[in-house]
Amino acid sequence: DAGITQSPRHKVTETGTPVTLRCHQTENHRYMYWYRQDPGHGLRLIHYSYGVKDTDKGEVSDGYSVSRSKTEDFLLTLESATSSQTSVYFCATEGRGTYEQYFGPGTRLTVT
């Protein structure tokens, strides 16, 4: 599983509160991605990183921010959680220049 972990694995939070999800990898992969997965939509890219402090927006970035201060850690922050952000969030990495992405175990986030 390419040494990718996510924390927390489950979280319930209230509308309007900030939430930070963490992705940690031990493979020294350069590229990291945050996706959300919702029924009928597959995997949608939120933000991605192509190196330390180098990040860019994906297709569904509104309401999310990211940071990458170290190669191994990629943080996703919901500044003010909304019910529409209830989802399963997956982190992925790519490190061999082959396009093959390796996924973390996911975080199930519920916003009430």
Partner 1 sequence: GENVEQHPSTLSVQEGDSAVIKCTYSDSASNYFPWYKQELGKRPQLIIDIRSNVGEKKDQRIAVTLNKTAKHFSLHITETQPEDSAVYFCAASRGMDSNYQLIWGAGTKLIIKP
Shortest Å distance, C-beta 66 to partner 1: 13
Taking the least distance from each CB to partner 1, the nearer of 59 and 112 is: 59
Backbone angles phi, psi at 85, to 5 degrees: -95, 5
In angstroms, the CA 4 to CA 6 distance is 7
94 makes contact with partner 1 (CB under 8 A) = yes
Nearest CA to 45 among 25, 24, 61? 61
Shortest Å distance, C-beta 27 to partner 1: 14
Nearest CA to 52 among 78, 28, 77? 28
45 to 84: interface string for partner 1, x by CB under 8 A: x--x-x-----x-xx-------------------------
Counting Cα atoms < 13 Å in the Cβ hemisphere of 42 gives 3
Sole binder of partner 1 in the list 19, 33, 81, 109 (CB under 8 A): 33
In angstroms, the CA 87 to CA 76 distance is 13
10 makes contact with partner 1 (CB under 8 A) = no
Shortest Å distance, C-beta 19 to partner 1: 20
